[in-house]
Structure 1
Amino acid sequence: MLIQRASLLDGTTADIRVEEQIVAVGPRMAPSPGEQVYDAKGGTVIPGLHDHHVHLRSAAAALTSVQVGPADVHTRDDLARVLAAADIGSDGWLRAIGYHEAVAGPLDRTLLDELAPPVPVRVQHRSGVLWTLNSVGLARVGLADHPDGRLRSADQSWSEALTRNETGLGDVSRRLSTFGVTGVTDATPGLEVADVVKLMEAHRHGELRQRVHCLAPGKRILHDSDLDLTALTAWIAERHADGGPVAVHCVTAAQLVVTLAALRSAGPHPQDRIEHAAVVPDDSVADLAESGATVVTQPNFVAERGVQYLHDVPAAEQHELWRVASLLTAGVPVALSTDMPFGDDDPWKAMRAAVSRITGGGAVLGADERVPAREALTMFFGSADAPVMPRLIASGHPGDLCIVRARPDEVLGELDSDMVAATVIAGRLVFER
Structure 2
Amino acid sequence: MTMLLRSVELEGDVVDVRIAGGRIVQIGPGLSGDAAIVEGRGGALIPGLADHHLHILATAARRASVAIDDVADIDAIAARLAAVEGLGWIRAVGCPAVLADAMTRDDLDVMVPDRPLRMQDQTGALWLLNGAALDRVLAGLGAGDWPASVERDAKGRPTGRIWRGDDWLRGRMATDPPDLAPLGRELARYGVTALADASVSNDARSAALLAEAVRTGTLPQRLMLMSAGPLTAPADGAFTVGPVKLLIDTRALPPFDAMVANIADAHDRGRAAAVHCVTATELAFTLAAFTEAGCQDGDRIEHGSVIAPDAIAAIREAGLRVVTQAGFIAARGDRYLRDVAAQDRPDLYRAASLLNAGIRVAGSSDAPYGPLDPWIGMATSIDRRAPSGAVIGALEGLTPRAALDRYLSPLDDPGGPVRRVAVGGPADLCLLDRPLDRALAAPSSAHVRATWRDGTMIYRYGDI
Which TM bucket (shorter chain)?
over 0.9
Once residues 249 and 12 of structure 2 are traced to their aligned partners in structure 1, the CA distance between those partners, rounded to angstroms, is 47
Instruction: Kindly report which structure 2 residues correspond to 1:385-404, keeping only aligned pairs within 5 A, or say none.
Output: 385-388=412-415, 389-404=417-432
Match for residue 334 of structure 2? Answer: 307
Instruction: Tell me if the contact between 1:87 and 1:94 (Cα under 8 Å) persists in the aligned partners.
Output: no
Kindly report the root-mean-square deviation, in angstroms, between the aligned alpha carbons of the 2 structures.
Answer: 1.6
**Off by >3 Å, runs of 4+ in structure 1:** 101-105, 143-146
Show CA shifts across 1:207-231 (max 9, x none): 1111111111311210112212211
Match for residue 20 of structure 1? Answer: 22
Residue 454 of structure 2, aligned match among 413, 416, 426? 426
Pairwise CA distance, 1:76: 1.9
Once residues 320 and 175 of structure 2 are traced to their aligned partners in structure 1, the CA distance between those partners, rounded to angstroms, is 33
Instruction: Kindly report which structure 2 residues correspond to 1:359-378, keeping only aligned pairs within 5 A, or say none.
Output: 359-378=386-405
Once residues 238 and 79 of structure 1 are traced to their aligned partners in structure 2, the CA distance between those partners, rounded to angstroms, is 43
Instruction: Tell me if the contact between 1:31 and 1:37 (Cα under 8 Å) persists in the aligned partners.
Output: no
Instruction: Tell me if the contact between 2:333 and 2:386 (Cα under 8 Å) persists in the aligned partners.
Output: yes
Letter in 2 for 1:85: A
Q: SS at the partner of 1:148?
A: strand
Residue 226 of structure 1, aligned match among 227, 252, 259? 252
Show CA shifts across 1:10-32 (max 9, x none): 21121112242222222221133
Pairwise CA distance, 1:168: 2.0
Aligned residues: 426
Show CA shifts across 1:166-217 (max 9, x none): 2320000111111111111111112112211221111111111111111113
Unpaired runs of at least 5, structure 2: 144-155, 229-243
Pairwise CA distance, 1:103: 4.7
Show CA shifts across 1:111-134 (max 9, x none): 111222421111111111111111
Residue 310 of structure 2, aligned match among 276, 283, 286? 283
Match for residue 43 of structure 1? Answer: 43
Match for residue 348 of structure 2? Answer: 321
Q: Do the aligned partners of residues 155 and 349 (structure 1) sit closer, same or farther apart at CA in structure 2, a change above 3 Å counting?
A: closer
Letter in 1 for 2:9: S
Instruction: Tell me if the contact between 1:296 and 1:336 (Cα under 8 Å) persists in the aligned partners.
Output: yes
Greater mean deviation of Cα atoms: 50-59 or 112-121: 112-121
Q: SS at the partner of 1:243?
A: coil
Once residues 294 and 424 of structure 2 are traced to their aligned partners in structure 1, the CA distance between those partners, rounded to angstroms, is 34
Instruction: Tell me if the contact between 2:184 and 2:218 (Cα under 8 Å) persists in the aligned partners.
Output: yes
Once residues 7 and 181 of structure 1 are traced to their aligned partners in structure 2, the CA distance between those partners, rounded to angstroms, is 19
TM-score (norm 1): 0.95
Instruction: Tell me if the contact between 1:327 and 1:334 (Cα under 8 Å) persists in the aligned partners.
Output: yes
Instruction: Tell me if the contact between 1:6 and 1:44 (Cα under 8 Å) persists in the aligned partners.
Output: yes
Once residues 206 and 45 of structure 2 are traced to their aligned partners in structure 1, the CA distance between those partners, rounded to angstroms, is 34
Instruction: Tell me if the contact between 1:222 and 1:255 (Cα under 8 Å) persists in the aligned partners.
Output: yes
Pairwise CA distance, 1:154: 4.4
Show CA shifts across 1:305-342 (max 9, x none): 11011111111111111111111111111000011111
Show CA shifts across 1:223-277 (max 9, x none): 1122122111101001101211111111011111111111111111211111101
Q: Do the aligned partners of residues 412 and 88 (structure 1) sit closer, same or farther apart at CA in structure 2, a change above 3 Å counting?
A: same
Letter in 1 for 2:302: E
Q: SS at the partner of 1:249?
A: strand
Match for residue 349 of structure 1? Answer: 376
Q: SS at the partner of 2:395?
A: helix
Once residues 211 and 166 of structure 2 are traced to their aligned partners in structure 1, the CA distance between those partners, rounded to angstroms, is 24
Q: Do the aligned partners of residues 409 and 116 (structure 1) sit closer, same or farther apart at CA in structure 2, a change above 3 Å counting?
A: same
Greater mean deviation of Cα atoms: 50-59 or 20-29: 20-29
Identity %: 38
Instruction: Tell me if the contact between 1:25 and 1:393 (Cα under 8 Å) persists in the aligned partners.
Output: no
